[in-house]
Amino acid sequence: MIDFSYTIWILLIPLFMFVVVGLFGNRFKPIVSGIAGTSGLFVMWVLSLVTAYKYFFVLEKAADGSFQKLLAVNIRWLNLTDKLHIDMGVLLDPISIMMLIVITTVSFMVHLYSIGYMDGEKGFMRFFATLSLFSFSMLGLVVATNIFQMYIFWELVGVSSYLLIGFYYTKDSAVSASKKAFIVTRFADLGFLIGILMLSFSAGTFDFLSLTDIHGPAMSSGSGVMFLGLSTMTWSMIFIFMGGAGKSAMFPLHIWLPDAMEGPTPVSALIHAATMVVAGVYLVARLFPIYALKAPVALDVVMYVGAFSSIFAAVIACTQFDIKRVLAYSTMSQIGMMMFALGVSGYGGHEGLGYMASMFHLFTHAFFKALLFLAAGAIIHAVHSNVMNDMGGLRKHLPITHATFLIACLAIAGIPPLAGFFSKDEILAAGHEKSLMLYWVEMIVSGLTAFYMFRLYYSIFWGKDQHYHHTPHEASWTMTVPLMFLAVGALLAGLIPFSMFVSSDRMPFMSHIELGIAIPAVLVGLFGIILATIFYRKETTIPDQVFNALGGFSRAAYRKFYIDEVYLFITKKIIFNYVSRPIAWFDRHVVDGAMNGVAYVTNETSERMKRFQSGQLQQYALVLVSGVVLLTLLFTYLWTN
Amino acid sequence: MFEGVPLQWFLITGTIMFFVGIYGFLVRKNLITILMSTELILNSVNINFVAFNKILYPTHLEGMFFAVFIIAVAAAEASVAIAIIINIYRRLINIDVEKMNEMKY
């Protein structure tokens, strides 16, 4: 048996960094906090890699050949009663270790990159402190031993995301974007909390080990009571998915993600592409046995929401001009595919192909999407604009960024042998087994993905030079090294035999590339790339013609299908007028009125009573004597009777 | 000297003195007179002590001693009170109790 208790340090280092940099960062030069944060992340990265090696290759497997679920650390943190207690700890199983690697790798790269990117910004130290807080909370989320610990860290990542989106707090748009992100995800978390309470009420435990045990209490409870034709367990899993959908920007709770791009670009790469937004996928994967065995209807909800979000976001991504927004919608689309893959998956063995595919795509996506964002950051750093109309011909000026961006584009488009090809192929294979219609939907999504990524690529790196303020040049090594590192990840991550490590029942199995699916998928991807080449390789009028030919549809897509407007209508016109205003009136007139009334009565009474304090000695004496006389009479009366 | 005088007479005298004192305390405006009224009240109590002691417990002396104590305390109190009155007079050129209403709301 190997002792894994040192993994607690992976959590404690960033917490320590957050406190130290946050409190004392101002005492030193800004660069010190950057170096401190980066070296802390490096230690965590090494620890995670060591843990992964020991877990997968050294630790002996369980009796049935599956990977064990280990409680490396478990502390009883909040002891309410004997049965009701909230623990904190570290749970190690294949997916949490996979997430440890993803988070520490991307976070380390982003820290290193930020030293260059944020150089000279006001609040450099605040940036690194919050980044450490984020790393701490995200790692706490993935290693959570029980659903309540997950919920606590879930909220913490929400807070750190809020702080980082609103990093430029003097900019109105950043402030409103951070508030929007916080409120929307918070609203979704309400569903999560309801789901947690329903689930743990019927199962009688918060603990993931017993919740996901296929012979455990969760599997034998909660099916009695029905509501609208669905069991308690199904409802609770749907509510929990609502929380996951909010964090992972699934339709219709996706509206915060594009606006979250107001934050600094490294933050977008870390939080809004690679780690935090996949927390919803991770949540569903964590509770997957319950979804698959106990609440198949909830799993269907996951499947449909995921599939719809992926195509919805892919269509919008084709019409946007802000490069970070294109990437944001692309992220939403890819996460939709992960959700879809979970939704089509079954439990155990080859049935669980979708589960494995989803985790695999999460893993590879983290590399190439973080790379895309960091490359976009390098471009923005060089050009000082987010809009692709201001860019063009940058391949000569930014050779490293160009090469890495191209690798990432090919990876996300699913061209073999890059990372995205393998994971997307597994997703499509899993989808093909479950539903042919959704399989074709996902096929269209991968075509659209290739199209909009190469639209982006050509608009940025090809075409004519624009009038730049100064000639764009490659940034310092701290920014290019992470790009190259992640490019290697995007090249090679797909070659990992993922199904040997991660599967729905933690039992290794072999998966193969099915040519019947891989070939059409690659062809669709190539078709998208060729289409983008025709449209955007040189400046032509074809895109405008197509845009106009599609008429209302393309305008609606450009306006993001008016979802923001619908939200504004519901909140401003309906909720504010018919709910908030009456409540505000009640508060102002009834609640405040009662308080003011009490104060008024007290004031008036004392105003009257103070006349007794006349200052006249003899008046006091008279009152005293009368009192004594009265008391004497009273006691005499009582005594004699 | 007071052989054969019943207890009630002493008590009636004490009560009359007590209420005369109270009355004076409540209605007179001159501080010196008010001080004198308090002396009347104290002395009415003294009469009660002495009378009870003399008639009910002729062999004891506690009542007598109490009376002596009260006289001593009253003397001390009177000196303090007069000192205060003199100070008030210096400040206000007046010792009318109704003029002294500074300490109010």
pLDDT in tens, A303-330: 999 999 999 999 898 888 888 889 999 9
**Residues in Cβ contact with A23 at an 8 Å cutoff, skipping those fewer than 6 apart:** none
CA distance A600 to chain B (A): 19
CB contact under 8 A, A618 and B97: yes
Residue of A nearest to B28 (CA): A618
Say if CB A181 and CB A260 are below 8 A apart.
Answer: yes
For residues A441 and A434, give the distance between their C-alpha atoms in angstroms, rounded to a whole number. Answer: 13
Optimal mutation site among A605, A607, A616, interface B, most CBs of chain B within 10 A: A616
For residues A585 and A307, give the distance between their C-alpha atoms in angstroms, rounded to a whole number. Answer: 43
CB contact under 8 A, A610 and B27: no
Residue B82 forms part of a structural domain: yes
Comparing CB atoms, the residue among B26, B27, B104 nearest residue A615 is: B104
Residue B102 forms part of a structural domain: no
Residue B105 forms part of a structural domain: no
Reading the block at residue A101, the tokens are 């690697």
Q: Which residue has the tokens 């009573």?
A: A609
Using a CB–CB cut-off of 8 Å, the residues of A that contact B are 610-611, 613-618, 621-622, 625
Q: How many CB pairs under 8 A join A and B?
A: 26
Say if CB A559 and CB A258 are below 8 A apart.
Answer: no
pLDDT at A223: 64
pLDDT at A224: 65
Q: Which residues of A touch B98 (CB under 8 A)?
A: 616, 618
Reading the block at residue A536, the tokens are 């955007």
Residue B1 forms part of a structural domain: no
Comparing CB atoms, the residue among A613, A616, A625 nearest residue B98 is: A616
3-state secondary structure A511-576: CCCCHHHHHHHHHHHHHHHHHHHHHHCCCCCHHHHHHHHHCHHHHHHHCHHHHHHHHHHHHHHHHH
Residue of A nearest to B27 (CA): A618
**Residues in Cβ contact with A109 at an 8 Å cutoff, skipping those fewer than 6 apart:** A370, A374, A482, A485, A486
Comparing CB atoms, the residue among A615, A621, A625 nearest residue B101 is: A615
Say if CB A482 and CB A324 are below 8 A apart.
Answer: no
CA distance B47 to chain A (A): 21
CA distance B98 to chain A (A): 6
Per DSSP, A61 falls in state P
Segments of chain A with pLDDT less than 70: 1, 221-225
Maximum separation of any 2 CA atoms in chain B, in Å: 55
Say if CB A453 and CB A420 are below 8 A apart.
Answer: no
Query: How many CB atoms sit inside 10 A of residue A594's CB?
Result: 10
For residues A365 and A414, give the distance between their C-alpha atoms in angstroms, rounded to a whole number. Answer: 11
Q: Are strands A230-231 and A226-227 parallel, antiparallel or unpaired?
A: antiparallel
Reading the block at residue B12, the tokens are 């009636």
For residues B37 and A256, give the distance between their C-alpha atoms in angstroms, rounded to a whole number. Answer: 87
CA distances from A218 to A87, A197, A252, A505 (A): 19, 13, 29, 16
Residue B73 forms part of a structural domain: yes
Burial of A20 (0-12, 13-18, 19+ CB in 10 A): middle
Q: Which residues of B touch A622 (CB under 8 A)?
A: 26
CA nearest A477: which of A115, A121, A124, A120?
A115
* Secondary structure (3-state) at A254: coil
For residues A541 and A546, give the distance between their C-alpha atoms in angstroms, rounded to a whole number. Answer: 9
Q: Which residues of A touch B26 (CB under 8 A)?
A: 618, 621-622, 625
Q: Which residues of B touch A608 (CB under 8 A)?
A: none
CA nearest A393: which of A474, A458, A302?
A458
Say if CB A421 and CB A494 are below 8 A apart.
Answer: yes
Say if CB A182 and CB A162 are below 8 A apart.
Answer: yes
pLDDT at A641: 76
For residues A380 and A501, give the distance between their C-alpha atoms in angstroms, rounded to a whole number. Answer: 38
Residue B104 forms part of a structural domain: no
Say if CB A344 and CB A305 are below 8 A apart.
Answer: no
For residues A106 and A94, give the distance between their C-alpha atoms in angstroms, rounded to a whole number. Answer: 18
CB contact under 8 A, A618 and B25: yes
Nearest 5°: phi and psi at A505? Answer: -105, 20
Q: Which residues of A touch B33 (CB under 8 A)?
A: none
How does residue B1 score in pLDDT terms, banded at 50, 70 and 90?
Answer: low
Say if CB A67 and CB A93 are below 8 A apart.
Answer: yes
CA distance B35 to chain A (A): 12
Q: Which residues of A touch B25 (CB under 8 A)?
A: 618, 621
Q: Which residues of B touch A614 (CB under 8 A)?
A: 101, 104
Residue of B nearest to A608 (CA): B105
Residue of A nearest to B102 (CA): A615
Residue of A nearest to B104 (CA): A615
CB contact under 8 A, A617 and B22: no
**Residues in Cβ contact with A367 at an 8 Å cutoff, skipping those fewer than 6 apart:** A105, A106, A274, A411, A419, A486, A489, A490, A493
In this prediction the ipTM stands at 0.86
Q: Which residues of A touch B105 (CB under 8 A)?
A: 610-611, 613
Residue of B nearest to A618 (CA): B26
CA distance A624 to chain B (A): 11
| Number of domains within chain B | 1
CA distance B7 to chain A (A): 22
Residue of B nearest to A622 (CA): B26
Maximum separation of any 2 CA atoms in chain A, in Å: 117
Using a CB–CB cut-off of 8 Å, the residues of B that contact A are 22, 25-27, 97-98, 100-105
Identify the CATH number of the domain in which residue B18 sits. 1.10.287.3510
Reading the block at residue A279, the tokens are 């927390």
Q: What is the CA radius of gyration of chain B?
A: 17
Nearest 5°: phi and psi at A91? Answer: -110, 125
pLDDT at A544: 77
Say if CB A30 and CB A124 are below 8 A apart.
Answer: yes
DSSP lists the bridge partners of residue B100 as none
For residues A616 and A598, give the distance between their C-alpha atoms in angstroms, rounded to a whole number. Answer: 31
DSSP A395-445: TTT-HHHHHHHHHHHHHHHT-TTSHHHHHHHHHHHHHHHH-HHHHHHHHHH
For residues B63 and B67, give the distance between their C-alpha atoms in angstroms, rounded to a whole number. Answer: 6
Nearest 5°: phi and psi at B93? Answer: 55, 45
Nearest 5°: phi and psi at A105? Answer: -65, -55
Residue B77 forms part of a structural domain: yes
Q: Which residues of A touch B27 (CB under 8 A)?
A: 618
* Secondary structure (3-state) at A120: coil
CB contact under 8 A, B97 and A622: no
**Residues in Cβ contact with A382 at an 8 Å cutoff, skipping those fewer than 6 apart:** A394, A397, A398, A401, A472, A473, A474, A475
Q: Which residues of B touch A625 (CB under 8 A)?
A: 22, 26
State the number of CA atoms in the 13 A half-sphere of B50 facing the CB.
16
pLDDT tens-digit series, residues B30-86: 999 999 999 999 999 999 999 999 888 888 888 999 999 999 999 999 999 999 999
Residue B28 forms part of a structural domain: yes
Q: Which residues of B touch A615 (CB under 8 A)?
A: 100-104
3-state secondary structure A174-235: HHHHHHHHHHHHHHHHHHHHHHHHHHHHHHCCCEHHHHCCCCCHHHHCCCCCEECCEEHHHH
| Nearest-10 crossing angle of helices A94-117, A477-492 | 150
Q: What is the CA radius of gyration of chain A?
A: 30
Comparing CB atoms, the residue among B22, B101, B102 nearest residue A625 is: B22
Residues shown for chain A: 641
CB contact under 8 A, A615 and B97: no
CB contact under 8 A, A621 and B104: no
Q: Which residues of A touch B22 (CB under 8 A)?
A: 625
* Secondary structure (3-state) at A590: helix
| Nearest-10 crossing angle of helices A353-383, A94-117 | 0
In which domain, by residue range, is B27 found? 7-97
Predicted TM-score (pTM) above 0.90: no
CA nearest A526: which of A424, A413, A427, A406?
A413
Task: Return the ∠ at Cα A405 (arms to A399 and A408), rounded to 5°.
Answer: 145
